[in-house]
Amino acid sequence: MAASKTEQQVTLKLMVIKKRNKVLFAEAGKDFVDVLFSFLTLPLGTIARLVRKESNMVSSKVGSLSSLYESVENLDEECLCDKEMLLRPRNSMDVYCKNVELNIDDTNSSEYFVCNNLVKCRYNSPVFLSTNQNNRCTCGAMLAKPIFPKRSEGFDGFVKKCNGSFLITDELKVLPNSLVTFLHLLKSYGIKDMSSLDEVILTITKNQDFVFNELFDVMIIVLDLLKGCLYSKTTLTDVFLEQLYFEKLFTRNEFVPCDFDANVSSCKIKVKIMQRKSNGKILFAQGNKDFVDFLFSFLTIPLGGVVHLMEGCSFIGSVDGLYKSVINLDEDYWTSKEVKIKFANPVLAHVFKLSNMLLPICSDVPKYYCCTIRHNLFGYLTDSYLTSTHKKIDSTMGNCTALVFVDSICDTGNSDGYAKGPTMYIATDDLVVMPMSSISVISLLNSMSIPVNDLIEKEVSIGVKEGVRILQASLMSTSALTIGLSHLTKVEKN
């Protein structure tokens, strides 16, 4: 039975090992590969929001990341410079992702604004550009005039359309479709008899007028793929064959902390931790706003940036295999050289740049120009648009002026963090953040039924090594602080 509509429809061929009921590989084109690669561009805050949605797999939580996200939702507006910025973090590659056929990121694309008095200010340097309407130009006028990218500069996803199909393994390694690759996969899985394999053709479509066994709803499947990517090393099997609904997909393997070079940065954050003597578990940590800013920064980091920080060994589901595919895929398969570079070296959206950033991940400040358009012989300015090049492409174009971003996290104009100080904060082991309150601490300890004589207080310093370990643990465990700081907090037993 065919669907009555073919809106956003993608065909996927699975090669299944019959006796094992396991996917050997999938054969797919650009649209499916683009959506897999788009997962690496998603900020962790976006992922925490998306995995809560219902799909064939139950709505889920990602380690301690989900409770960190929920604590931002629950914090008073007075505690944060911009709550919405953390709840719906911008994707540094949103200009590429918005043209991905099966894009599930529901975050609004960036909007851009220039001076309301642009006709005059475009002759003065610098000319400011902002992604919000709260900033002012040097002339005193608000940066509130919308400006849009030139339509001809549309980005067509990540990989080229003309390069045929790709092979995707069960652990989401994306490979060019070739005889050499095919034979290598057969050999690696010990396949000697082709009759042991079965081909399954799936059609993924947004239209819901279908028989379930033949067609799969696109957004539900993409959500399942995202969840599987985070939790499973057999993602395609779990999503398309077993259709797991329960706990199997969410059972972690043993946590393997990454070994990070501690000499990358001298930046340190001092915190006081409350720990149990009996088992070494950290109950909570107390710190200044720099500690909370460090934790909140997790929500702004793209998934690919996490793997990049850990040099390709995050041990998070199928994410490492997907990231290595990006690194190994030849430049000829990408829509541009720039796209591969951005994937190989993921960055934060430029608005998330902090002056005291602990983790060694850069922010991207894109270069934009404001180009004017003349629509009559006298050269009268009637329109302007945003472009990434200063070259004139036709005779109607006037001047192209370089733009300077003036965005900041706080309305006050500073970019020194997400939380407002000088309030002290506490963060629980699963990264629930709240303002420091003695009553809250007593309630927390009472809820755990922990005797006072089982408590010990320590002061520790969080550097880059500890920061990366906490970040990694936040994606895999609800004991992010205990695991991330375990090398500093060993309790001596009498």
Asked if residues 470 and 482 have their Cβ atoms less than 8 Å apart, the reply is no
Token representation of residue 267: 């930046």
Q: What is residue 220's predicted lDDT score, i.e. its pLDDT?
A: 83
Beta strands (DSSP E) in 159-228 are: 166-169, 174-176, 197-205, 215-217
Q: What is residue 489's predicted lDDT score, i.e. its pLDDT?
A: 82
Asked if residues 450 and 461 have their Cβ atoms less than 8 Å apart, the reply is no
The torsion angles phi and psi of 247, rounded to 5 degrees, stand at -75, -15
Q: What is residue 10's predicted lDDT score, i.e. its pLDDT?
A: 77
| Residues sharing a CB contact under 8 Å with residue 334, sequence separation 6 or more, in sequence order | 158, 159, 160, 340
The whole-angstrom separation of Cα 288 and Cα 426 is: 9
Asked if residues 364 and 347 have their Cβ atoms less than 8 Å apart, the reply is yes
Q: What is residue 215's predicted lDDT score, i.e. its pLDDT?
A: 44
Q: What is residue 150's predicted lDDT score, i.e. its pLDDT?
A: 67
Tell me the whole-structure pTM to 2 decimals: 0.87
The whole-angstrom separation of Cα 83 and Cα 105 is: 18
Please provide the DSSP assignment of 365-413 as one string.
Answer: ----EEEEEE-STT--EEEEEEES-----STTEEEEEEEEE---SSTTS
The whole-angstrom separation of Cα 386 and Cα 368 is: 7
Q: Which residues pair with 142 in a beta bridge?
A: 136
Query: How crowded is the C-beta side of 388, counted as CA atoms within 13 Å?
Result: 9
Asked if residues 433 and 427 have their Cβ atoms less than 8 Å apart, the reply is yes
Q: What is residue 362's predicted lDDT score, i.e. its pLDDT?
A: 83
DSSP state of 238: I
For residue 245, give the amino acid letter: Y
For residue 314, give the amino acid letter: S
The whole-angstrom separation of Cα 251 and Cα 230 is: 11
Kind of pairing between the strands at 397-405 and 127-129: parallel
State the 10-residue block means of pLDDT for the chain, 494 residues long: 50 91 93 94 96 78 94 92 91 84 82 84 78 84 84 71 86 94 91 91 62 55 90 90 54 57 71 94 95 96 94 90 95 90 89 85 79 60 67 60 76 67 91 92 87 93 94 94 90 63
Helix (H) or strand (E) holding 468: helix 464-474
The whole-angstrom separation of Cα 240 and Cα 488 is: 43
Spans of all domains in the chain = 10-61+92-107+155-255+304-347, 113-146+360-405, 269-298+421-484
Task: Residue 393: name the closest of 152, 186, 213 by CA.
Answer: 152
The whole-angstrom separation of Cα 58 and Cα 471 is: 24
Query: How crowded is the C-beta side of 63, counted as CA atoms within 13 Å?
Result: 29
Number of residues that make up the chain: 494
